[in-house]
Amino acid sequence: MQNQSSTNSEQSKQSIYSLFKQSLSSDNQQDLTQGSIGKAAFLLSVPMVLEMIMESVFAITDIFFVSALGPEAISVVGLTEAVITLLYAVAIGLGMAVTATVARRVGEKNITGANQVAAQTIWIGLGVALAVGIPGSIYAVEILRLMGATQDVAIMGQGYTAIMLGGCVSILFLFLFNAIFRGAGDAKIAMKSLWLASGINIVLDPILIFGWGPFPEMGLTGAAVATTIGRSVGVLYQLYHLFSVSGKIQLFIHKLRLDLAVVAGILRVSVGGVLQFLIATASWVFLVRIVSHFGSDAVAGYTIAIRIVMFTMLPAWGLSNAAATLVGQNLGAKQAARAEVSVWAITKYNLAFMLTVAFAFYFFSASIISLFSDNTQVIEYGTQCLEFVAYGYGFYAVGMTLVQAFNGAGDTMTPTVINFVCYWLLQIPLAYWLAISLEVGPAGVFAAIPLASLFIAILAFVVFRTGRWKTKQV
């Protein structure tokens, strides 16, 4: 009996290892609308989670090296990041539309239609990049001052902010092209492109910041240069695969002519997605603006804590992305019931992961923050932030998965309404009231974060159970 149990355990390990290898294999062309839901979820989520793990490693490594330059440098990164999150909102919102549309076309076995969406995504990315990059690079000092930086800090961070905003084309295309690959179920390419981009950034960060070897010491500006180079190389890798004849999605130079009808269709679906993420990320801009009222140490502690939060949040986001693809392809294949079961399976995995992280945050937050700063005030603020955020991690897991399910169905307006109610009508007023009116300080801002995640989870669950998302046409 014992030998039989041991044999079954060994076979199970081999089966998981085999699936893991298959999920990363170049030959993996799994039909996500057929067969075991658990297997489909595993094959799709592994590369998506690994993709986001590397992005989270990049975020934490970046702030680790910048922290050696002092609280002012950290605050520049935090204030710039708050502005760039608005660009992320546009990129992610557009990406949701691209993923949903590509997934629906692939589920319908209409690969030509999926290729058309991919081609027009390039024009959309270029348009947004020009609109953001040019003014962003010119008015870097004014942007930092608007975000609450002192004149000295704004001048010090001018180079960093100008390069980060001026090089936003790499951010946009990295998001949008990966959205194409995810929609096609080709998550391994999305994973590899982000690993390449983040890996180059991690190597270049200390070299350019501190001037190792023959390279000049660029300080904070070096961090921006390293990030932009890394992301640009990742985009070139994506383009290589988009124009490859072996991929599921194939682009050709002669078919890149602007098609306004297709562009309009993508933009129509993306309106809700862009608004959805603009509402969410703009709330973080307001939060960091409230925190900046209490000085650079508070902003530095908040920035470090949020980077650590993203370190754990991004893998969970990867799992949620798997839910979006599964929903899109299965609705395209007219299998709504399978789409719903897939969402609940992903939700269960995400909840287990996030609760484990919450436990670690709650008991080891001070030790984690102290790895990035020896400033007592910075550690105190960062520890407070991590502990408060930990209370909402279980709700984050449920909320983000269900929201991504709506997005995968092309129903981007439902999450927009949920975000507006929970962030703008609840989180921001509550954070201001607690921090400023009641004079609680930054802790008031931190306390508002898990409460917003609780209400997002509740509203998303109630709406998801109605099943209206199943009838959305894309």
* Least reliable range by pLDDT among 86-90, 238-242, 243-247: 243-247
Average pLDDT over residues 212-232: 91
Which tens digits make up the pLDDT trace of 270-282? 887 788 878 877 7
**pLDDT class of 55 with cuts at 50, 70, 90:** low
pLDDT for res 22 = 65
Q: What is the pLDDT of residue 20?
A: 66
Task: Specify the range with the lowest mean pLDDT, choosing from 2-11, 82-91, 247-256, 404-413.
Answer: 2-11
Residue 453's H or E segment, with its range, is helix 442-466
Yes or no: say if 434 and 447 are a contact pair by the CB < 8 Å rule.
yes
pLDDT digits (tens, 9 = 90+) for 422-472: 999 999 999 999 999 998 989 999 999 999 999 999 999 999 999 888 887
The residues near 387 (Cβ < 8 Å, ≥ 6 apart) are 361, 362, 365, 446
Q: How would DSSP label each residue in 282-330?
A: HHHHHHHHHHHTT-HHHHHHHHHHHHHHHHHHHHHHHHHHHHHHHHHHH
- pLDDT tens string 277-300: 788 777 877 888 899 888 888 988
Higher-pLDDT residue of 231, 13: 231
3-state secondary structure of 392: coil
Three-class secondary structure of residue 150 per DSSP: coil
Can you give the pLDDT at residue 308? Answer: 86
32 vs 332, more confident = 332
Confidence at residue 2, expressed as pLDDT on a 0 to 100 scale: 45
Q: What is the pLDDT of residue 276?
A: 81
Instruction: State the average pLDDT over residues 5-26.
Output: 56
Look at the block and give the residue holding tokens 């932030």.
385
Contacting residues for 410 by C-beta, under 8 A, at least 6 apart: 97, 100, 101, 104, 269, 328, 472, 473, 474
The two three-digit tokens of residue 309, written as one number: 């939060």
367's CB contacts (< 8 A; 6+ apart) are none
**Residues in contact with 210: Cβ distance below 8 Å, sequence separation at least 6, in sequence order:** 65, 68, 217, 222
Question: Would residue 155 be called left, alpha or beta, if left means φ above 0 and alpha means ψ between -120 and 50 degrees?
Answer: alpha
Binned at pLDDT 50, 70 and 90, residue 395 comes out as: very high
Share of the chain above pLDDT 70, in %: 89
Residue 412, Cβ density class (10 Å: 0-12 exposed, 13-18 middle, ≥19 buried): buried
The helix/strand/coil state of 249 is: coil
pLDDT digits (tens, 9 = 90+) for 182-195: 888 777 888 888 88
Predicted confidence at residue 10, as pLDDT, reads: 45
Q: What is the mean pLDDT of the chain?
A: 84
**Which of residues 294 and 29 earns the better pLDDT score?**
294
Q: What are phi and psi of 157, to 5 degrees?
A: -95, 5
